[in-house]
Amino acid sequence: DNGGGFVQMAADVDVDASDFSSVRLLVLGNNETYGCHLKTPDIHRPWQSYRQPFVSPRTWTWVELPIDQFHPHRVDAPFDPARIRRIGLVAIGRPFTVDLAVAMIALA
């Protein structure tokens, strides 16, 4: 009734990713599209983030998310990968069955 709702798993971190080219996720899921949301100290509202979608395949798979392809969502400040403070994996904005397992999150 409300456009699909919102489900998130997140962790507070203190990461300088400026020397890395991607966020790597080892995931297993249901072939649905999810979002990887990063937050920095420039984020002041819950709905703000730097985002990139990914598909979670039905077999354990490394998904590469290039750092330079995270785009701002309702944020005026440019993304600074040296100041990542939170990472979240999100199902949002449409009705579907959420089935996402995460074995590892890394920088590469």
Phi, psi torsion values for 67, nearest 5 degrees: -60, -35
Longest CA span, the chain: 43
pTM as predicted = 0.93
Give all strands (DSSP E) within the chain, no chain letters: 6-15, 22-29, 32-39, 49-56, 61-66, 71-73, 84-92, 100-107
Cα 18 from Cα 79, distance rounded (Å): 11
Question: Do the beta carbons of residue 54 and residue 25 sit within 8 Å?
Answer: yes
Cα(96)–Cα(99) distance, integer angstroms:
9
- Predicted confidence at residue 1, as pLDDT, reads 55
Which among 87, 92, 78 is positioned nearest to 105, based on CA atoms?
Answer: 87
Encoded tokens for 11:
């962790």
| pLDDT number for residue 99 | 96
pLDDT value, residue 6: 80
Contact (CB, 8 A) for 67 and 81: yes
In one-letter notation, the amino acid at residue 17 is A
**The predicted structure's pLDDT at residue 95:** 86
Mean pLDDT by 10 residues, the chain (108 residues): 76 96 98 97 94 98 98 96 97 91 97
The pLDDT of residue 87: 98
